[in-house]
Amino acid sequence: MGLIVQKYGGTSVGTTERIAQVAQRVAGYQARGHQVVVVVSAMSGETNRLVAMGRELGGDRPSAREMDVLTSSGEQVTVALLSIALLELGLTAKSYLADQIRFRTDSAHGRARIEQIEVEKLRQDIDQGVIPVVAGFQGVNDQGDITTLGRGGSDTSAVALAAALSADECEICTDVEGVYTTDPRIVEGARRLSQITFEEMLELASLGSKVLHPRSVEFAGRYRVPLRVMSTFIPGPGTLITLESETMEQAEVSGIAHAVDEAKITVAGVPDVPGIASKILGPVGAKSIEVDMIVQNTGVDGMTDFTFTVKRQDYDTTLDLLKEVAADISARTVTGDNAIAKVSIVGVGMRSHAGVATKVFDRLATENINIQMISTSEIKISVVIAERYVELAVRALHDAFNLHQEPA
Amino acid sequence: MGLIVQKYGGTSVGTTERIAQVAQRVAGYQARGHQVVVVVSAMSGETNRLVAMGRELGGDRPSAREMDVLTSSGEQVTVALLSIALLELGLTAKSYLADQIRFRTDSAHGRARIEQIEVEKLRQDIDQGVIPVVAGFQGVNDQGDITTLGRGGSDTSAVALAAALSADECEICTDVEGVYTTDPRIVEGARRLSQITFEEMLELASLGSKVLHPRSVEFAGRYRVPLRVMSTFIPGPGTLITLESETMEQAEVSGIAHAVDEAKITVAGVPDVPGIASKILGPVGAKSIEVDMIVQNTGVDGMTDFTFTVKRQDYDTTLDLLKEVAADISARTVTGDNAIAKVSIVGVGMRSHAGVATKVFDRLATENINIQMISTSEIKISVVIAERYVELAVRALHDAFNLHQEPA
């Protein structure tokens, strides 16, 4: 028994039938003695529908303030509908919009940052057995204007509420049964993880595993909110995302992520002098193009090669840009490749297990897959390979690290 | 030049194309030197869609508080979309929800009464050339909960804002070109009235002319807000609803309304004693059934007949109810008829023109239409006839009072 914040995503509340099922699920938790606070997203497809109407009228850059007023209406609909469904089951429930609980954010419309939440009303409700149903994704700035938190915003709303309420757990209820060792569509033996650390989840989330938005994971880690990813409609324990503990399963590797939406640019034969990196990446950053991996080799004969990756959609722009500045930086050539994939091996176990990198390189060599770039962090190894090998690489590495088996 | 509050109904903002047209119309007013405050309804069909979802989950009586949260989201969408469209035209516009301008109402969810509006923010906007776009239909109670004003609520919102801002005019922009002498679908020669008094409009609105909700007319009359009904998309002066003035056209009759959604119940042979009316209507009122016309004839031999009308949907319930209490009140018979129509002749001119009633009765007699009930007020004569004669009666009376011609 405890206080649980549950967040239901767009597909979980996508129809009135599903909303009724969610109400049943919430009722079950209360019947088992839990106190529940619910956070909901808009019905699936609704936010896109609203954004499309806004763009029809406002072009590519419609007013950010008004887009927030527009899109936040989606969550308003679902909090009301779920409250109605809970009341129909004989429970006491009450919807809350952001301004009703002073869910305060800054004024960065469309990507607002949470500043403060007044949980007094929610606490009163909880103490009286009322189930508060809170609109995710939305906030309110100090002017009383509606803001929104951006993609994955409802996850962040739920985590922030759980932190403010010192909840025992924050459950992200979604259409997958948890976090898997890798994409089950690629590897048949992909296994649901019963636990994973915040750090690992953060790496996986950033690396293209779509289960949770990195921001919500970061937030949960910072405020030490135990986070659980689980299915709304299929019973099961899901995956608990938690602080590292000695009792946790400690495999070398927890999971493998992959991303095929990147492209690489190589600036070859540039003088190996201080400041060259910023001369290359300065113009890229100035265009608000996000750079992911950066690799620079030790120079030979006072010259070096510099390679970095960007989102594939920014590839053409970046390549043109670098060709323009090539002369300024005395680069010999600027080349690129947009048919690449990034495969990343993540696990806190790497810290204590030597040889993880070697095992990765060996196995990829066995499969005849050439590694184009390597980047590592304390708990992650990412390699860039040709896109056509991505499924093969993921399957081979899943096998190499025995991820289909529960760790001993 | 002046300050104008414009209200656009659901069909006027029913698609993004129409919203763009509405923005053009508003821009035209500003270009001609007017200050404009806009009030909008939800896109047509949207409120019904939301209500249907609420009923799916909450049955016949879903939580009134949550239904208000649900339905008010419709206006949130349109204020944002219209603001985006106005900004796209290079105008400065800003959306407002009820709580942002403290559009305070009581807590009667679904039919809330307006208590107070803070117009300070709106005045600042207007002074700076900003066009405020305000969500109609919605309010906020002293708890900060969303309320709604009920059917025709957006008209009332607009009138209340116009009153609070001491606007020069409140324009109700809709899909008809104004108020007509009668239903143009029945009488080909029906004529748009250039002016009509609040009292007349109130009678016509209550009598089934769907142009304006009676509550908004009453509100406008009480606060002396000049009200104009006009088409959003067809240019024209519409109909000005105003205080009675000597310079106004003073026909005997301004318009003819009809309603076919009523039914009558006759309780015959009841003792003609004090309190008999309340004994008959008490049980009806207790069931929240609304009674419209009531007629009681002078008693003969200590007995009297009592007839009243109710909405047709309440006919069966009312008839059953009266049959139950018939014994208690020693009634001889309880009978009813649900194939009736009410035709009403309205005009402030009746006050000074004798013989209007006679002309009505004569003409109906000429057409061989039997009058079943008569009810009169200072500016109105209503008759109940068999439903099958309703078009004939309306056409005949329109002709009898020369309504196709402008008054001299």
Q: What pLDDT digit, counting tens, does each position of B156-197 carry?
A: 999 999 999 999 999 999 988 999 999 888 999 999 999 999
- Local confidence band at B271 (pLDDT 50, 70, 90 cut-offs): confident
Q: Residue A99 — pLDDT band, cuts 50, 70, 90? A: very high
The pLDDT of residue B208 is above 70: no
Q: What pLDDT score does A292 carry?
A: 87
CB atoms B63 and A84 under 8 Å: yes
Check residue B213 and give its pLDDT.
83
Q: What is the largest CA-CA distance in chain A?
A: 78
pLDDT of the residue at A249? 56
Average pLDDT value over all residues in chain A: 91
Put simply, the answer to whether A77 touches B84 (Cβ < 8 Å) is: no
Query: In whole angstroms, how far apart are CA A76 and each of A42, A136, B63?
Result: 8, 9, 15
Of A400, A406, A403, A345, which Cα lies nearest the Cα of A378? A345
DSSP string, B174-207: ESSSS-BSS-TTT-TT--B-SEEEHHHHHHHHHT
Interface test with A, best of B81, B122, B134 (most A CBs within 10 A): B81
Does A84 sit within 8 Å of B70, measured CB to CB?
yes
Which of B66, B84, B145 lies at the smallest CB-CB distance from A58? Answer: B84
In tens, the pLDDT along A192-202 reads 999 999 988 88
- Highest-pLDDT range among A371-375, B139-143, B297-301: B139-143
Residue of B nearest to A75 (CA): B73
Give me the residue label for tokens 């403060």. A116
Q: Does residue B247 register a pLDDT over 70?
A: no
**CA A325 to each of CA A262, A283, B3: distance values in angstroms, whole numbers, following the listed order:** 22, 8, 56
Domains present along chain A, CATH in parentheses: 3-244 (3.40.1160.10), 250-401 (3.30.2130.10)
Preferred mutation among A60, A73, A134, A146 to probe B, highest tally of B CBs within 10 A = A73
Tracing tokens 């069931």 back to the chain, one arrives at B287
Residue B248: band (very low, low, confident or very high) from pLDDT cuts 50, 70, 90? low
- Contact with chain B for residue A150, Cβ under 8 A: no
Q: Per-residue pLDDT tens for A263-300?
A: 999 998 888 887 788 888 888 888 888 888 888 877 77
Give the model's pLDDT for residue B330. 85
Q: Can you tell me the mean pLDDT for A54-60?
A: 93
Chain B residue with Cα closest to A47: B77
Mutate to test the interface with A, among B63, B109, B137, B147 (most CBs of A within 10 A): B63
Look at residue A355 in the predicted model and tell me its pLDDT.
83
- Entry field: residues in chain B: 408
pLDDT band at A43; cut points 50, 70, 90: very high
Confidence of residue B209 (pLDDT cuts 50, 70, 90): low
SS3 B13: coil
**Interface check A110 vs B, CB under 8 A:** no
Separation CA B338–CA B371 (nearest Å): 15
Q: According to the model, what pLDDT value does residue A209 have?
A: 63
Find the mean pLDDT for residues B133-149: 96
The answer, for B64 touching chain A at a CB cutoff of 8 Å, is: no
Residue B316 φ then ψ, to 5° = -60, -45
Of B202, B199, B179, B183, nearest to B257 by C-alpha is B183
Instruction: Output the average pLDDT for chain B.
Output: 91
B-chain CB neighbours of A16 within 8 Å are 53, 56-57
Highest mean pLDDT among A232-236, B202-206, B292-296: A232-236
- Write down the pLDDT at residue B129: 95
Share of chain B above pLDDT 70, in %: 97
Determine which of A128-137, A238-247, A342-351 has the lowest per-residue pLDDT on average.
A238-247
Q: Cβ–Cβ of A87/B19 closer than 8 Å?
A: no
Using an 8 Å CB-CB cutoff, list chain A residues near B77: 50, 53, 70, 73
Picking from A63, A66, A95, the nearest residue to B66 by CB comes out as: A95
Burial of B189 (0-12, 13-18, 19+ CB in 10 A): middle
Handedness of CA A183, A186, A191, A197 (dihedral sign): negative
Is the confidence metric ipTM above 0.85 for this complex?
Answer: no
A54 inside 8 A of chain B by CB? yes
Give the tens place of pLDDT for each residue, A298-307: 777 788 888 9
Subunit contact A57:B19, Cβ cutoff 8 A: yes
Q: What's the Cα-to-Cα distance from B269 to each of A350, B90, B216, B295, B298, rounded to whole Å? A: 97, 72, 41, 14, 12
For range A378-395, the mean pLDDT? 93
Give the pLDDT score at A379.
Answer: 87
pLDDT at A300: 74
- Nearest chain A residue to B101 by CA distance is A144
Among the listed ranges A103-117, A255-269, B17-31, B348-362, which one has the minimum average pLDDT value? B348-362
For the segment B392-407, what is each residue's pLDDT rounded down to a tens digit?
999 999 999 999 988 7
Beta partners for residue B241, in sequence order: B196, B227
**Is residue A173 scored above 90 in pLDDT?**
yes
> What integer is the mean pLDDT of A359-388?
91
Say yes or no to pLDDT of B18 above 70.
Answer: yes
Contacts 24+ apart (CB under 8 A), A282-285: A283/A321, A283/A322, A283/A324, A283/A325, A284/A308, A284/A310, A284/A318, A284/A321, A284/A322
8 Å CB contact of A69 and B62: no
